Amino acid sequence: MLRLYITMLLLFLLTRLCVAAGRDASLSAAGPGDTIGAPPSERVTRFYDSLESKSTRRTVPRLIYRSIFIRGRRDTLGRDRVVDESKRFEPYAGKRIGRIILERGNVFDPDGNKLERFGNRIHAVTRERTIRRDLFFKPGDPLDPDELAKNQQFLRSRSYIAEARIEAVPDPSDSTLVDLVVQTRDSWTISADLSLNINGRTGVELYDANLLGYGNRLSVGTNFDWKNGTYGGNRFEYGIPNILGTFFDAEFIVGRRFEYSDLGFTVKKKFLLPTDYELGISYQDKAEPYYMLFQDSTMRTAGRFLDVWGGRSRYIRPFRNSIYFTGRYSRWTYDIRPEVRPDYNPVFHNSQRVLAGIGIYREKFYSATMVYGFGLKEYLAAGYKAELTGGYIWGEFSHDWYLGMHFSKGGFFNAGYLMGGFTLGSYISPSSGMWYRSGVDFELRYFTPLLVSGRSRIRQFINLSYTQGWNRDTGCDELIEFTEDRGPNALDEKIVGLNRAVLNTETVLFTPWQPYGFKIAFYGFADFALLGRESNIFRNDFFNTIGLGVRIKNERLVFNTIQIRFGVALGKGGFRKAEYFNISNQRRPEQYRYLPEAPEVVPFR
C-alpha cells in the first residue's frame, strides 16, 4: 500500500504539473521582467492546497507528503528572477556591431583583504586574445540577440571564468552601429586534489585550469600506497580549448594510476549555434579494472578504442527550429577481457559500428540563481529535442541492426522548472527480425521557485526516473543497478535487476553565511526506489534513504563544491547497509541542454 501511494501521489503531481506547464504562459513568450517568482495561478494554488489536504488526513501519506514538499513564502526580493537574456539585446537586433570592448576582472575585489590582494597579484588574468577567440561575433556582423545570450552562457561555462556579461551600447555618432562591452571576471584556477583510501592508496593531483592566462589546462598527478610503500604511477593531462579560434578543443592523456593506464587524445568541435557543425576524433589505448556486477568481482580489462563523428545543423527560421544530421564510426578492440560467447558479455565483444541520426531541436537560454550554484548567475535552457538513430554493428559473433529514439522537453512556468524525456534503444537481428538487448528510460526533473525562510532561501528538487530492459543477454552491463544519479543517496549495497524506479527528493537551504567568500547550503533528502527482475515493478524490492548534508563553495575558486553527507537506508525488514557518512568533491552538474550530439548506442545502466 505504501509503494502504491508513493507512485500514485507522484504521478498525480507530475501529471498536473505537465498540464499546468502546457496551459500557463511560458517565459519564452513573456516580457523581460517576467519571473518564476511571480504569483502562481489560482489553478496551481488550488492544486497544491488540495493535494496537501488529501495527503494529511492519514499518518503514512502525511509523512510522505512532508518528505517531498516544503512550505514557504515566495521570494519577493528579486533573487528568483528568471531572465530571458536575449530580451536585453532585442532593441538592437539587426544593427551592425561596431567596437568590441573587453573589461577583464581579476579573481578578487581590488580592495579586499591582504590574502585576496596577494592572490590577485600572483594570478595571471585571462588574456584578451583568449576571451576574443571565444566570441561568436566580430565587428561588422549584424547583432543577433539569441546569439549574444548563447555567447554569455558559453563564456560562463569556461572553468576559468566566474562571471561573464555582454552589454550593448549604441554608438552616439552612428545610429546603425552598436558597440559591445564584454565583461568577465576570473576564477582562481590553481588547485590540488587529494584522494585517500583506507587501504593505503593515495593520489595527489596538481592542476592549473588557466595556464599563463591562455585557458589551457595542465594536470599532473602522482599515486602511491603509504601502507606498503609502493609507487602507483603518474598521470598527465593537457587540454587546449578553442584552438586558434576554430572552436575545436583538444585533450591529451598519458600515464597510469595503479591498475589504470591511459594513452589517448580527443579533438572535437561541438554544436554551438542553431546553424552549425560538429566534428571529432578520439583514440584511447587504456587498461582498467572492470567491476563484474553479476559476479560481484573485479577483473582487469585492456583495449583500443577509436571514434570518429560529425554532423550538420540548419536553422529553419519560419519554424524557429533547427534540423540536424549526425554520423559516427566506432571500432572497439579488446586485448584483455572476461570470457565472451555469442550471448555472454556482449559489452566486451570486438566490434565496428556505423550509426546515423536525424533530429530537430530548439534551445533558448534563461538565467537564474541558486539552482545548482550559490548565488552567481546560472544558465538553464528551455526547449526540446527529438531524434532518431539507426545503424549497423559488425560484431565478433553476429551482425545486427540498431534502432534508437529520444525525446526531451523542458522549460519554466509559474510553479518552477519542469523537464521530461524518454530514450529507447534496441538491437535487431537481421535474420529473425527479433528485437533484443532492448532498454527504455523515462525521466522527469522538477524544481520549485525560491522560497523564503528568514534570511535564507529554499528550493525543492524532485527527480523521477524509470528504466526497464527486456530480452537481455547475460554478463556485464546486461543488468542494471543503482547509480550515483539514479538511486537512493546513502544506500551501500550492490543490487541488480531489469526494472528500476527511483524518486529522489531534495530540499536545499541557501544560507546567508559567507565566511571568507565560502557560501554554505544545507540540504535534506528522502529517496524512494524499486529494483528487481520482476516485470511488475511493484513486486520488486523497495528501498528508502533519508539524510542531511552541507555543501560549501566559493564561486570565485575553481575548487569543486565540498559536500558532507549523513544518511541511513531502509528496506524490507528494516535497516539496510548504508554509507552513513560521506565527504566528497561535487563537480558542477551539467546544465539541461537540448543541443544535438553524435549518435551512439543507448547504454543500459
- Minimum mean pLDDT range among 110-119, 130-139, 538-547: 110-119
Phi, psi of 448 (to 5 degrees): -85, 170
- d(Cα 267, Cα 255) in Å, to the nearest integer? 19
- Minimum mean pLDDT range among 73-77, 189-193, 516-520: 73-77
Q: Please report, as a single letter, which amino acid is at residue 603.
A: P
Q: Indicate the burial class of 578 (C-beta count within 10 angstroms; 0-12, 13-18, 19 or more).
A: buried
59 — pLDDT class (breaks 50, 70, 90): low
590 — pLDDT class (breaks 50, 70, 90): low
Secondary structure E strands in 197-336: 201-208, 217-225, 230-240, 249-257, 260-269, 276-292, 297-316, 321-336
Average pLDDT for the chain? 85
- Minimum mean pLDDT range among 4-18, 214-228, 282-296, 376-390: 4-18
- Minimum mean pLDDT range among 86-90, 391-395, 589-593: 589-593
User: What pLDDT score was predicted for residue 79?
Assistant: 55
- Average pLDDT value for residue range 141-166: 93
CB atoms within 10 A of CB 92: 20
Q: Please report, as a single letter, which amino acid is at residue 239.
A: G
User: What pLDDT score was predicted for residue 292?
Assistant: 80
Q: Indicate the burial class of 212 (C-beta count within 10 angstroms; 0-12, 13-18, 19 or more).
A: exposed
- Nearest CA to 602 out of 446, 425, 467, 431 is that of 425
CB atoms within 10 A of CB 58: 11
User: What pLDDT score was predicted for residue 45?
Assistant: 46
Report whether 436 contacts 413 (CB < 8 A). no
CA distances to 55, 192, 312, 508, 563 from 585, in Å: 37, 12, 37, 17, 6
Most confident option among 17-31, 221-235, 391-405, 569-583:
391-405
What cell does 75 get?
Answer: 521570494
User: What pLDDT score was predicted for residue 8?
Assistant: 39
Strands 96-105 and 217-225, by their bridges, are unpaired
Strands 177-186 and 96-105, by their bridges, are parallel
Per DSSP, the residues of 40-56 read PPHHHHHHHHHHHHHHT
What three-state secondary structure class fits 396? coil
- Minimum mean pLDDT range among 137-146, 206-215, 341-350, 362-371: 362-371
Instruction: Answer yes or no: is pLDDT of 49 > 70.
Output: no
Instruction: Answer yes or no: is pLDDT of 31 > 60.
Output: no
What three-state secondary structure class fits 258? coil
* Percent above pLDDT 70 for the chain: 85
- Average pLDDT value for residue range 277-290: 96
- d(Cα 314, Cα 327) in Å, to the nearest integer? 16
- Nearest CA to 437 out of 302, 549, 334, 346 is that of 346
Of the two residues 180 and 366, the one the predictor is more confident about is 180
What cell does 409 get?
Answer: 522537453
- d(Cα 61, Cα 70) in Å, to the nearest integer? 15
56 — pLDDT class (breaks 50, 70, 90): low
Q: Indicate the burial class of 417 (C-beta count within 10 angstroms; 0-12, 13-18, 19 or more).
A: buried
Per DSSP, the residues of 431-448 read TT--EEEEEEEEEEEEEP
Report whether 235 contacts 255 (CB < 8 A). yes
Instruction: Answer yes or no: is pLDDT of 3 > 50.
Output: no
Tens of pLDDT, residue by residue over 564-587, are 999 999 988 889 999 899 887 766
User: What pLDDT score was predicted for residue 48?
Assistant: 47
* Percent above pLDDT 90 for the chain: 59
455 — pLDDT class (breaks 50, 70, 90): confident
Instruction: Answer yes or no: is pLDDT of 519 > 50.
Output: yes
Of the two residues 413 and 342, the one the predictor is more confident about is 342
Instruction: Answer yes or no: is pLDDT of 242 > 90.
Output: yes
CB atoms within 10 A of CB 550: 15
The helix (run of H) or strand (run of E) holding residue 9 is helix 2-23
- Average pLDDT value for residue range 444-465: 90
Phi, psi of 365 (to 5 degrees): -95, 140
Phi, psi of 513 (to 5 degrees): -75, 130
